[in-house]
Amino acid sequence: MKRVIVLGSTGSIGRQALEVCRWQGYRVVGLAAGKNLETLSQQIAEWRPSLVAADKSLHGELKSRFPWLKLASPEEVAALEAEVAVAAIPGLAGLSPTRVAAQTGKRIALANKEAMVAAGPLLWQEVEAHGAEILPVDSEHSALFQALLGERREDVAELILTASGGPFLREPQDLSRVTPEMALNHPRWRMGPKVTVDSATLFNKGLEVLEAKELFRFPLEGIKVLVHPQAYVHGLVRFVDGSLKAQLGPTDMRLPIQYALTYPERAETPLKNLPLPGELEFLEPDLNRFPALEVAYEAGRRGGVAQVAVSAADEVAVEAFLAGRIPFPRIPKILAQVLENTPSLPLTWENLFAVDAWAREEAKRWT
C-alpha cells in the first residue's frame, strides 16, 4: 500500500489530495496543517496519521481530542517513511518541509509553486543528491509534463501555459475601481484569497512561467502564455517542426494530483465521462492591462534572487490590497519597484531567506 504525506492538508489542494488517496486506497501517514482545527480534526479521525503538524495554538485542543496523537514540526512530518509527499503548504513556509522530503528521497507531488520559483536550482540539487523525484501538481505544469513524455528535449521549441484570464479579462475597463470582493470572484476556480488575487492580476501565471523555467529547466524566452477562457487546454508544447501537442481535460485539480501520485500508471476516476466544451479560444495576454505578468518575466531574466524578491513582495502587496490599503493597480507597481531595488546576489539558501525578508520590508514601504 502506497504511503502518502500531505503537507498543507487543510487547504484546497490538500483536501483534494486526500480525496484521491480515498479513491486509490492509499495510507496517509502524516499531515501538516495550519490553524483550521475542525478540518484537521476530521482528517485525523479518518486517517489516524503517525505524525501531525499544526499551529501551536491548536496543540492543546488536538491533544484533548486525540490523546494518542503525536505532534511534530512540518519538517518531521516530511521526514516520515513514505513514497510520496504532497507539497501544498503555500509560500516559502512550504520550502523547508519540501526540502526535507527531497532529502529523504521521496516523490514530491509539488503544488507549492513558490518553492520552485524561489529555490528551483537549489531544490534540484537536493533531489538529485538523494534520489528523490518531483512531479508537478499544478494543472498547467502537469499538462506540460505529460505532453513532454517520450519527446526529445532538442525537438521542443516552446512551452505554452494557458491562463483563464481571471475575473477582469475584459471588464471593468477601469481597474482602479476593483474591490477585493470583485477580485475574489473568480469565474472558474475556488481558491484561497492570495492565489485568487494573483489570478486576477495574472501574476499567478507569471509565477507559473518562472516555475516552468525551473521545473523543466527550459529557457525563459521559450515559455509563452496564452489566455484561454474555457480553461480546458492546460498546456501545449510546440516542436521545432511546428507541430503542437496539448493536454486537455476538465478543470478539476484531482486529475493532476492523482497523476502525480500514480505515475507512470493512470487510474480510473469518477471524472472520466465529463462533457467536452463547445468552443475553445486562445488570446494573447494584454500586458498593458496585466503588467504583473511582464514583471515576472523580467525577474526571470535577471536571475539570482530576483524571483525570490518579487514572489515575497507579491504576498505583501496582495495582503495590502485585501485589507483595503492600496488599489488593485498598485499591486504590479509595487512588484516592479521592489524588483528594481533588488540587490544582485547569487541564489543560495542563505541569500534566499535574507532577500525574502528584505523584499517584504521593501514592499511595505510602497503600500
Residue 275 within any structural domain of the chain: no
How far is the C-alpha of 279 from the C-alpha of 82, rounded, in Å? 43
Do the domain assignments include residue 189? Answer: no
Residue 276: pLDDT band by 50, 70, 90 thresholds?
confident
User: What is d(CA 225, CA 157) in angstroms, rounded to the nearest whole number?
Assistant: 14
| pLDDT at residue 188, rounded to an integer | 74
pLDDT confidence of residue 256: 94
User: What's the rounded mean pLDDT across residues 139-151?
Assistant: 95
Per-residue confidence band for 255, with pLDDT thresholds at 50, 70 and 90 = very high
The reply to whether 240 falls in a domain is no
Q: Express each pLDDT in 93-108 by its tens digit.
A: 899 999 999 999 999 9
Kindly write down the DSSP assignment for every residue of 96-153, as one continuous string. HHHHHHHHTT-EEEE--HHHHHHHHHHHHHHHHHHT-EEEE-SHHHHHHHHHHTT--G
CA–CA distance, 80 with 72 (Å, rounded to integer): 11
> What mean pLDDT value characterizes the chain?
94
Domain count for the chain: 1
Give the pLDDT mean for 136-155.
95
pLDDT of residue 301: 97
Return the amino acid letter for 72: A
Residue 88, domain extent: 3-136
Specify whether the CB–CB gap between 313 and 299 falls below 8 A. no
Q: Is the pLDDT of residue 190 over 80?
A: no
Q: Which residues of 95-114 are buried (b: 16+ CB within 10 A; e: fewer)?
A: bbbbbbbbbbebbbbbbbbb
Question: Who wins on pLDDT, 157 or 192?
Answer: 157
Q: What is the pLDDT of residue 17?
A: 97
- Spatial contact of 202 and 292, defined as CB atoms under 8 Å apart: yes
Specify if 118 maps to a domain. yes
* 115 located within any domain: yes
Please state the rounded mean pLDDT for residues 261-278: 84
For position 115, what pLDDT does the model report?
Answer: 87
Answer yes or no: is 25 within a domain. Answer: yes
pLDDT for res 135: 97
pLDDT band at 269 (very low <50, low <70, confident <90, very high): confident
Task: Extract the C-alpha cell encoding 217.
Answer: 529547466
For residue 106, tell me if it sits in a domain.
yes
Task: State the Cα–Cα distance between residues 245 and 105, nearest whole angstrom.
Answer: 32
Which DSSP string do the residues of 7-38 spell out, in sequence order? ETTTSHHHHHHHHHHHHHT-EEEEEE--S-HH
pLDDT tens digits, residue range 108-138? 999 988 889 999 999 999 999 999 999 999 9
Confidence check: pLDDT of 250 > 90? no
Report the run of H or E that residue 335 belongs to, with start and end.
Answer: helix 330-341
pLDDT (average), residues 283-297: 96
- pLDDT (mean) for 76-92: 95
Which pLDDT band, with edges at 50, 70 and 90, does 273 fall under?
A: confident
Residue 206 lies in a domain: no
Sheet holding 51-53, edge to edge: 51-53, 27-32, 3-7, 84-87, 107-110, 133-136
138 within 8 A of 208, measured Cβ to Cβ: yes
- pLDDT, average across residues 251-268: 92
Give the model confidence (pLDDT) of 10-40 as tens digits.
Answer: 998 999 999 999 999 999 999 999 999 999 9
Alpha carbon separation from 280 to 26, 78, 179, 228, 229 (Å, rounded):
36, 41, 29, 7, 8
pLDDT by residue (tens digit) across 201-248?
999 999 999 999 999 999 999 999 999 998 889 999 999 999 999 988
pTM for this prediction: 0.92
According to DSSP, the residues that pair with 158 across neighbouring strands are: 238
CATH code for the domain in which residue 106 is found: 3.40.50.720
